[in-house]
Amino acid sequence: MPRGFIAPFVLAAAVAIGASGCTFSAEIATQKDYDPSDGVGTTLGDIAIRNVMLITNEDGQANLVMSVVNTGESDVSLQVQYDGDGDTVTEFLDVPTLPALTRFGDDPAAGVILEGSDVIAGSLVPVYFQHGTIPGELVLVPVLDGQLAEYELLVP
């Protein structure tokens, strides 16, 4: 078989492998879990906690804003625990079952307000979520301020 016949196939194979070789070990970004918002989220059994964030004011108070979906068969009392200037503060939020998405923090006067010297815009505040016998999870919640128009009504 003449050399001129095989050389184009070898060259085409080398170009194909060279051009696509870097994708053999590349991570596929669409398969990575991420929070597509300013907040963070977690799942505790049948409870999906989404877009958790703290909206703060200049006085060191922060409104806990989040959406919660309960896919279980009964209503749940969600425990929210955080450090309030050295003291552990525990609050309970009632989360009904589907089909409703339950939003917390839309009305700062009726929501969970954290206070402390470490509640500063741009920081992360540890907040612990737990319900029933499901193991809880400590979530580092981002602290934002009301400078953006979509958050200005959420400032305590």
pLDDT tens string, the chain, 156 residues long: the values are 565 667 777 777 777 776 666 666 667 667 677 667 789 999 999 999 999 999 999 888 999 999 999 999 999 999 999 987 788 999 999 999 977 789 999 888 778 998 877 788 999 999 999 998 999 999 999 999 988 899 999 998
The whole-number pLDDT of residue 114 equals 87
Choose among 41, 49, 149, 61: nearest CA to 112.
Answer: 61
The whole-number pLDDT of residue 20 equals 67
Burial degree of 149 (CB within 10 A; 0-12, 13-18, 19+): exposed
* Tens-place pLDDT, residues 69-114: 999 999 999 999 998 778 899 999 999 997 778 999 988 877 899 8
Give the span between the Cα atoms of 129 and 150, in whole angstroms. 25
The whole-number pLDDT of residue 86 equals 80
The whole-number pLDDT of residue 3 equals 59
The whole-number pLDDT of residue 1 equals 55
Give the domain ranges of the chain. 35-154
CATH number among 1.10.357.10, 3.40.605.10, 2.40.160.20, 2.60.40.2950, domain 35-154: 2.60.40.2950
Q: pTM of the prediction?
A: 0.77
To the nearest 10°, report the CA torsion of 91, 85, 137, 144: 90
Choose among 28, 130, 122: nearest CA to 80.
Answer: 130
The whole-number pLDDT of residue 4 equals 64
Give the span between the Cα atoms of 144 and 74, in whole angstroms. 33
- The two beta strands, 87-95 and 47-56, are unpaired
